[in-house]
Chains A and B, each alone.
Chain A
Amino acid sequence: MNRLLRTNAFRLAALYLLLFVASVLALLAFIYFSTAGFIERQTEATIDAEITGLREEYGERGLSGLLDIIHTRSTAPAPHGDSTLYLVTDPALQPLAGNLSAWPRAEQIRPGWIRFPVEVRTRQGTVTSSAIASVFVLHDGFRLLVGRDLRDAEAFRSRITRTLAWAALLTVALGVGGGLFMTRHMLSRVEAVNRTSERIIRGDLSQRVPLSGSGDEFDQLAANLNAMLDQIERLMLGMRQVTDNIAHDLRTPLSRLRARLEVTLLERPDAQRYADALRETIAEADHLLGTFNALLSIAEAEAGSRRETMAVVDLAEIARSVAELYEPVADDKGLSLTVESDALIAVHGDRHLLSQAIANLLDNALKYTPAGKVALRAHRQGGTARIEVADSGPGVPADRREAVFDRFVRLEGSRSTPGNGLGLSLVRAVARLHGGDAWLEDNEPGLKAMFTLPVADSRIVPATRNAA
């Protein structure tokens, strides 16, 4: 309960209840004043009418006529138990006619109107109640009082008050009960999220927030949290795979490097052999560093931290420039390297990463194509820019075309060729960083490697290359 008081939901419910009760009370007060007031006004109107009638009588028949009629009215049995009070006195306030025994000691409520206590004889005995009356001074100081006993009005008023009090009590009770119920209900949903979070913090990432199935905003929140957890779990799994791969692929050359140094030390000291061993070790270390740098580039592209430095660049120009770098390599190998590209393909991207991705594709094609041709194509198709490197080499079997994009995956036949198995991983990471993708296709014969990315707004002209 203590915990309940501290929650936001409870505070909200309490505030809402307060507002609710206040408005209900205002409504009840309005009802009270309009009904009770109505009765009072009606009483006064009756008295007014009576006085008007009596004054007319007085005007026509004089004091004796008035005394007559008052005598008649005050002795006649009152209809409906209504008791109208009459009194006529001389200037010394001595009663002349009427059903009041004496001029009352009264308080004035407003000019011409007084309120006073009366004792009324009923079947049950004498009861004290209050009455209001209008007072009128006649000629020569004679006074006329016409009033009404307020017994009925007060009974009605107290009945209204009781009814309204019960209504208010019922409203508050319902409000408190409903508020508590709603708060509890909301709290239980939040609690479910909290319990799941706590279990995840303790290390069980497979936990998910339960859904009620109603599709309300709590369900949406839970679904979003679950989707986020799924993504995190996927990333963690990917990371674990990478760690395993790194452990394997860096451990192998590192242990080879260590073994070489150890063996060199065991053998008979020889300056020439020491120098050779050191040179080989340096080469091996360089290769390791290369692998490490490639891994970092991929991680960087995947993390998306390079997005801030992206600008509008000409992908066609980048492709031609990379082809120019590799052209002599193809030539030396006796391969024909052709470049087909649109005049200008504006994309929003990172020049260095795009260059490296294209270089990796060309490098692969040139490395694995023993003879024939390699073609680099850069084209724009609608809103998509597409880089394609097609070769006439041995190709990649259809069932391995996805796997080679994973880190450190190399085809069996290619183990002898230099390389670290990270080239295509980087290509895909770069393509995805730019909002595209990379994949392999059959070139019949050979392999077609490609990646796509969305083109930039054509109104923006890419900055020209500022290299030396």
Chain B
Amino acid sequence: MKLLVIEDDREAAAYIAKGLSESGYVVDHAAEGRNGLFMASSGNYDALIVDRMLPGMDGLALIAALRAAEVRTPVLILSALGAVDDRVKGLRAGGDDYLVKPFAFRELLARIEALLRRGSGNTQTTRLKTGDLEMDLLTRGVTRAGQEIELLPREFRLLEFLMRHAGQVVTRTMLLENVWDYHFDPQTNVIDVHVSRLRQKIDKGFTKPLLHTVRGAGYCLRAD
């Protein structure tokens, strides 16, 4: 998997590139907007990590130019601007996800993984399956090993997100943003409580747990 980091802060770029290389990605770096646009236009990358404020060319303008040129590579926007409307502007310009600086590296990693999967996965599924856990998106029925599982609407959405990202680490922030659409940090670990409730429903009574806690990062639904 090949990634392009377009970031003008050399230290931050070096740290992102080092971390991503250690996680098994091949990373290129552009320190300036126009050069970044040129490299990204080649279409040789699986995902782009773009800083919002760049010399030469603004990050959002860069993404808009890429999209206008029909380059569909998924883009993660990095920005020090964290207000909700900044986020909306970024996504409207053609970004696929938005991460506010400073961020935990695990958060960046989890979001890139989600972006890469999104690029390849077929979006028109009506059924999701992880191990013996199955979800029918039309009837909204969930079964594990053929056994019916009753879920509240929010729990259903939480499980759906986890199943769509099965095998990937999903952070608490990602859950809060995607399942609840909240972009603030609730001081109490409310997400943990919701996840442990869901775990009670899908893992209790089964020998092999599906929903795992990844220390210092978040959660992962996998069937091994």
Interface, chain A (partner B; CB < 8 A): 279, 282, 286, 289-290, 293, 296-297, 300, 305-306, 308-309, 321, 324-326, 328-329, 332, 350, 352, 355-356, 359, 363, 366-367, 418-420, 423, 465, 467-468
Residues 64 to 86 of chain B near chain A (Cβ within 8 Å): 82-85
Contact partners of B178 in chain A: CB under 8 A: 468
Given the interface contacts A355-B182, A467-B181, does A363 sit within 8 Å of B82 by beta carbon?
no
Residue pairs across A and B with Cβ atoms less than 8 A apart, 29 shown, are: A279-B216, A286-B104, A289-B102, A290-B185, A293-B82, A293-B185, A300-B83, A306-B83, A309-B84, A324-B154, A325-B182, A325-B186, A326-B186, A326-B190, A328-B190, A329-B190, A332-B193, A350-B84, A352-B182, A352-B184, A356-B182, A359-B184, A363-B188, A366-B188, A420-B187, A423-B187, A465-B181, A467-B181, A468-B161
Query: Bound complex: CA of A367 vs CA of B187, how far in Å?
Result: 10
The 8 A-B pairs of least Cβ separation, nearest first, read A467-B181, A328-B193, A356-B184, A309-B85, A352-B84, A329-B193, A359-B186, A328-B197
Closest chain-B Cβ to A466's Cβ sits at a distance in Å of: 8
Selected contact of A418 from candidates B181, B183, B187, B216, CB within 8 Å: B187
Residue in B closest to A366 when the chains form the complex, CB atoms: B188
Please indicate which of the listed interface residues A306, A328, A465 has the most CB atoms of chain B within 10 Å of its own CB.
Answer: A328
Selected contact of B188 from candidates A321, A352, A356, A367, CB within 8 Å: A367
Taking the complex as formed, is B180 at the interface, i.e. its CB lies under 8 A from any CB of chain A?
yes
Are A363 and B183 in touch, CB under 8 angstroms? no
Are A467 and B180 in touch, CB under 8 angstroms? yes
Query: Bound complex: CA of A274 vs CA of B161, how far in Å?
Result: 36
Residue in A closest to B189 when the chains form the complex, CB atoms: A329
Are B188 and A468 in touch, CB under 8 angstroms? no
Contact partners of B118 in chain A: CB under 8 A: none
Interface, chain B (partner A; CB < 8 A): 82-85, 102, 104, 154, 157, 161, 178-188, 190, 193-194, 197, 216
Contact partners of A352 in chain B: CB under 8 A: 84, 182-184
Closest chain-A Cβ to B198's Cβ sits at a distance in Å of: 10
Given the interface contacts A279-B216, A328-B197, does A363 sit within 8 Å of B179 by beta carbon?
no
Residue in A closest to B83 when the chains form the complex, CB atoms: A300
Contact partners of A366 in chain B: CB under 8 A: 188
Closest chain-A Cβ to B222's Cβ sits at a distance in Å of: 22
Closest chain-A Cβ to B172's Cβ sits at a distance in Å of: 12
Closest chain-A Cβ to B178's Cβ sits at a distance in Å of: 6
Query: Bound complex: CA of A363 vs CA of B186, how far in Å?
Result: 8
Contact partners of A465 in chain B: CB under 8 A: 181
Closest chain-B Cβ to A110's Cβ sits at a distance in Å of: 88
Contact partners of B179 in chain A: CB under 8 A: 468
Are B190 and A325 in touch, CB under 8 angstroms? yes
Contact partners of A467 in chain B: CB under 8 A: 180-181
Closest chain-B Cβ to A56's Cβ sits at a distance in Å of: 106
Closest chain-B Cβ to A291's Cβ sits at a distance in Å of: 10
Contact partners of B180 in chain A: CB under 8 A: 321, 325, 467
Query: Bound complex: CA of A411 vs CA of B210, how far in Å?
Result: 43
Contact partners of B187 in chain A: CB under 8 A: 290, 363, 418-420, 423
Contact partners of A418 in chain B: CB under 8 A: 187
Residue in B closest to A355 when the chains form the complex, CB atoms: B182
Contact partners of B181 in chain A: CB under 8 A: 465, 467-468
Contact partners of B104 in chain A: CB under 8 A: 282, 286
Please indicate which of the listed interface residues A279, A286, A289 has the most CB atoms of chain B within 10 Å of its own CB.
Answer: A289
Are B154 and A355 in touch, CB under 8 angstroms? no
Query: Bound complex: CA of A85 vs CA of B193, how far in Å?
Result: 130
Closest chain-B Cβ to A417's Cβ sits at a distance in Å of: 10
10 further contact pairs, Cβ within 8 A, besides A296-B82, A305-B83, A326-B186: A290-B187, A306-B83, A308-B85, A328-B197, A329-B190, A350-B84, A355-B184, A420-B187, A467-B181, A468-B161
Closest chain-A Cβ to B185's Cβ sits at a distance in Å of: 6
Residue in B closest to A364 when the chains form the complex, CB atoms: B187
Closest chain-B Cβ to A281's Cβ sits at a distance in Å of: 13
Contact partners of A359 in chain B: CB under 8 A: 182, 184, 186
Contact partners of A329 in chain B: CB under 8 A: 188, 190, 193
Contact partners of B84 in chain A: CB under 8 A: 309, 350, 352
Query: Bound complex: CA of A420 vs CA of B181, how far in Å?
Result: 24
Query: Bound complex: CA of A420 vs CA of B165, how far in Å?
Result: 33
Are B102 and A328 in touch, CB under 8 angstroms? no
